Each structure stands twice: as C-alpha cells, then as structure tokens.
Structure 1
Amino acid sequence: MQTDSQMPEGQSTVADAPPDNWVDRYAPMGWRPWLRLSRADRPIGTWLLLLPCWWGIGLAMMADRPAWQDLWIAVACGVGAVLMRGAGCTWNDITDRDIDDKVARTRSRPIPSGQVTVPGALVWLVAQALAGFAILLTLGGAAILLGIASLALVGVYPFAKRFTWWPQVFLGLAFNWGVLLAWAAHMGNLAPAPLLAYLAGIAWTIFYDTIYAHQDAEDDALIGVKSTARLFGRDTPRWLAGFGAASVLLLALAVLATGTGGPGLLLGLAGVAGFGAHLLWQLRHFNMENSANCLKLFRSNRDAGLIVALFLALAGIV
C-alpha cells in the first residue's frame, strides 16, 4: 500500500474533498487512502444516505408512537450509513477506475492515483459490508430482508451512467432505501407513508445530484458518460423546479398518510414547508457554469434533509 509520503506531490488529497476535512488533518497516514476510498473525507454522502433513514423513523413514530428502540434504530442507521456508504463508494471506485482517471475532479481518488490497489479495495469493500450486515442483524426480520434486497441497487448503480441518461434515478433508488428499512425496523411492515417518502427521496436525489453532476458535464461529454445534467442542459433549472416540487408534494402526502393529527400533523407539514423553502433557495442561487457553486449547493442538502428529520421527530414525540 502506498502512503501519502510515498505519493507524488499533488496526490496526497482528493480534489473535491473539503480542505479542512478530518482525514487529511488527523487520521494516521497509513489509514488515509482507505478512508478516502470510503469518502470519509467527504461526509455529505453519508448524510444523504442517513437522512432518509431518520425520515422513516420519524414517520413511524407519527403513525404509531415513539419507543426506546427508536434510539437504537437511529444510531444503527448512523453507523450503517457510514459503513454502507463506504462500501458503496469503494465498489463505485472499483468499477469506475478507468473513467475516474480521465476526469479532472476524480483522477486524484485512491485507485486511479495509485494509493490503493484493486485487490486491496475489494478486501476493504468486503470488510465494510460485513460490518454493515452485523448492524443490520439487530433491526428485525423485515428490515433485514429489505437491507439484503438493497444490495441489488447498490450493485447496479455504478453502471447506470453507461446505459441510461438517468443514472440519478438509480442513485435515488439506492440512497433512499433507508426510509423503508427504518420504518420496517420500527413497524415490522411497510405502508403508504414510507413508500411516498421513498418516492419523495428519489425526486430529491435527482434534484441534488443533477446539481452535483454539472461539475463534470464537460468531462462526461468527452468520455461519453451520461447524466441528467447533460440531458437537461440549459433547461436544468426548469427540471430542478419540477423534481423539487414533486419531492415536496410527496413528502406532504407521506406525512398525511401517517394518519396523525393535531400538533403532530402541523409539525410534520412545517418540516416539509421548510424543506421546500430550502430547495427554492437552492434554485434561486443555482449557477450551472460555476463548479464551486454546484458543489456548495449540493452539500447544502444535508441541511434540507435535516429540517425534515427534525420536524418529523418532533411530530412523532408530541
């Protein structure tokens, strides 16, 4: 394994990682390539995987009642999101290694830059997946089955940009699965509320990942990689408005489908309204020609999702 001290100058960090991230500042040198492979230096993806899980817990609390097990479900989802996002990113980088070395933003990733070998990455992938499976086993039969089923989506996603202009849909299918899993961990079944929230999350993922994909639109065109950013082109703002509106509407329907009323219903809908306001703010500030702007707006979706999670949790408690 190559360490930072052995790598050529300029390859010791990943291009789009925050400059003050904890991996580059504090992690032991030998650990850094593996943590970068898992995107530990860029936690926004972990947040975007985790937040739908917390939506599912909040919705279940609204439909049923809060229970002490919900605290463990929330923690388990947090640990699981770190592990499974790391495993998913490792798999993505293994499959994309011949693409990543042709794109300016991604050629500094651990595999194309030579920090980690493909066999080493495969071992790291298995280790993370097994640890994630151990966490999953604590969440009950329905959640376990859903967790296993999600592996098909994780496996297919890296290849989507090779055969469809809509790879963001496949990302949405995988990244929002947690809303179903967390609901099932609490309730032991599925119902319209989490299914509506799942659809809302998919629309939200298309919204934020299209913004993200505009960073690479020119490079993607040169190497033939497809994305909604390339598909929508100059019409992107109009498409974003449509998917943002769909996400807000579906989330509101999910809240209503829990059957709760009174203050809980008002709090849930207030969270949806706050989420919608945040998406509108992103639309007003979106500049597809400015990569820094796209990355900033993409990262801001952590806050958009947290608004929903917080208000749903409050709605479930009152």
Structure 2
Amino acid sequence: MSNTDQPNPVPGTVADAQSGNWVDRYAPDWLKPYARLARWDRPIGIWLLFWPCTWGLALAAVANPARGFDWIACVLMFIGAALMRGAGCTFNDIVDRDIDMQVARTRSRPIPSGQVTAKQALIFLVAQALLGAIVLFQFNRFTVIAGVASLVLVAIYPFMKRVTWWPQAFLGLAFSYGALVGWSSQTGGFSVAILLVYFGTIMWVIGYDTIYALQDIEDDALIGVKSTARLFGSKTRPIVGGFYAGAYLLWLVGAIMAGAGLVFFFLSLVAGGLLAWQVWTLDGKVPENPAARFKLNHYVGIALVLALLAEWVW
C-alpha cells in the first residue's frame, strides 16, 4: 500500500501516531491539538534528542570519574529535550503546512487538518521556547551560549528539504547537539573526544532519518520534496550501513579518547548489533518496516549510555 492509499485516521487523530496513545486517550480535548503539534503522542523524537545529552554527561563522568554522573543535569536535559523537540516540531509544522497537506501521512496533523491555526501554533511555539530557555539557563555560560547557537540549526532545518538532497544532515547537526551540551555542562568547554562523538551522532541521525524518510518517498517525489532516501534510491541499505558504521567507529574512538576501555567496548557492541540488524532487515517496500527500524534507535541510545555508565562505575 502506498502512502497515498493509506486509510484516513480517526477524525482528530494523527495518521502516523500509534493508535490509542496516551494523548488520544487521556489528554483533555483543548490540549490534544497542541500535544500533537509537539509530538507528545510520538515520544520517540524526545528520546532520540535526549540520548546524546546523556552520552555527553556520561562521557564527562568517564573522563573524570571523581566528578561523577550529574543526575540533576540529566533530569533538566530530559525536560529540555521534551520542550525543544516540541518547539522544533511546532516550527516545522508551521513552515511545512502546505507540504503536509499533500502527504498522506502528515495531512492529518493539527495545522493542515484545521485543529489549530498557524497563529495559535506560533504562540505555542514561543511558550515552549521560553520554558526551554529557563532550563538552559540553569547551566554554565559556555553551555548557554552553545545552546543558543544551536537554534540557528533548528531554524533552518525545515527549509532544507526544499533546497538540498541532504536535509537529514541538517537534522543531524541539530539533533546531535545534545552531546555537546551534556559534555560542556560538566566541563565548561568542548574537546576532541566529544566532537568525535558529535560527528558520529550526526552520521547516526542521517542513517535513521533516511530510514524514516522511506515512508514518504512516493509522496515526496510527487511534490518535489528532497531527501536522502530519494537520493540514495536502491543503494539506501548499503549507504545507511556505511553511515551507521562510521557513527559507531567515531563513538568508539571518542569514548576511548575520553578514557573508556574494554568495558565500554564490549557493551557498546550491543548498540552496534542493533544498528547492523536495522540495515540487514530494512525493506522500504514493506509497510511499517522502516518505521519499526527507525524506532529501534531508542534502544541504541539506551545501550550506549548504559555502556558509558558501566565504564564509569568500573
């Protein structure tokens, strides 16, 4: 079944959200459109934004075991990830409202379906950004400046699918930034080790978002939206495999430079295995196959942070 043949979702719900999610079941009616704008009904994006933050925090603990893992910063960064992911999605939906009307998977989103206006969405965007700023200002000056600088990446990302075949690379620059924020919140600066982890995370994001984009490849071709899924075509599996291999290698080298050893190496193989399985079993022609592989990256994030924490404890 192609995207254009997908059945319409239940009125008021979103086609690509899991049926019976907590927003649809429990959120008050006035909140539901805004919760859908922020993707609270699809929390995978929050986790994918949050895990690099924890990698930065855990890597800083490995580099200086006496400092320990900052659990308070971890909680703050989870709240910040939820707010900024919601703000980014809201901004993306404002910018893409005309495109979303033409794609089966996205035309049921709150703005194109008329549940909220662009003006209401903009007010919601500002509210989330202000709350996110309150969280950010709990950290040191360097981290605050770095966090504010990342907003440039967030702002330009929604426009990239119109001008380049590599919008996934720009998403990678923005979604990987948490690694830098996590590290700098503990160290007051950057290092070669965390930069390697950051670049590895960019490659990871390019890989998983290419898999995600396979869901829309037919509609994107019809309306002229660019993506790496369209660019790679029949070579998507080996190219994604190359990005995943590069990501794992950079994570490994970055962690070793920060002081990680055999404990991290062996436990991180779990994350490497999950990446390899995604590529091995990926089939863009099978409905739900790309979505399931994309969501598996949540467990890649968990595996890496646990490997770093185990190294720190050891």
TM-score (norm 2): 0.95
Aligned-pair distance for 1:66?
5.3
Alignment of 1:16-27 (within 5 A): 16-27=16-27
Deviation by residue 1:3-55 (Cα, 9 ceiling, x = unmatched): xxxxx983311001011311011111111000000000000000000000011
Which residue in the other structure is 1:4 paired with? none
Which residue in the other structure is 1:84 paired with? 84
Aligned-pair distance for 1:240?
1.0
Alignment of 1:261-300 (within 5 A): 265-300=261-296
Aligned residues of 2:252 and 2:265 also touching (Cα < 8 A): yes
For residues 139 and 317 of structure 1, do their structure 2 counterparts lie closer, same or farther at Cα, with a shift above 3 Å needed? farther
Which residue in the other structure is 1:62 paired with? 62
4+ long deviations beyond 6 Å: none
Q: Distance in 2 between matches of 1:99 and 1:65?
A: 49
Deviation by residue 1:260-315 (Cα, 9 ceiling, x = unmatched): 4xxxx122212432111101111121111123111111111100111001111221
Aligned residues of 2:37 and 2:110 also touching (Cα < 8 A): yes
Query: Considering only aligned residues, what root-mean-square deviation do their CA atoms show, in Å?
Result: 1.3
Q: Distance in 2 between matches of 1:136 and 1:293?
A: 37
Counterpart residue type for residue 48 of structure 2? L
Residue-pair matches, total? 307
Alignment of 1:72-151 (within 5 A): 72-151=72-151
Q: Distance in 2 between matches of 1:9 and 1:300?
A: 24
Deviation by residue 1:173-220 (Cα, 9 ceiling, x = unmatched): 000000001100011111011100101101100111111000000000
Q: Distance in 2 between matches of 1:9 and 1:288?
A: 22
Aligned-pair distance for 1:250?
0.3
Q: Which runs of 5+ in 2 are unaligned?
A: 1-7
Which residue in the other structure is 2:5 paired with? none
Q: Distance in 2 between matches of 1:118 and 1:73?
A: 34
Q: Which runs of 5+ in 1 are unaligned?
A: 1-7
Which residue in the other structure is 2:247 paired with? 247
Aligned residues of 2:165 and 2:228 also touching (Cα < 8 A): yes
Deviation by residue 1:229-268 (Cα, 9 ceiling, x = unmatched): 00000111110111011011101101111034xxxx1222
For residues 226 and 33 of structure 1, do their structure 2 counterparts lie closer, same or farther at Cα, with a shift above 3 Å needed? same
Identity %: 50
Q: Distance in 1 between matches of 2:266 and 2:20?
A: 34
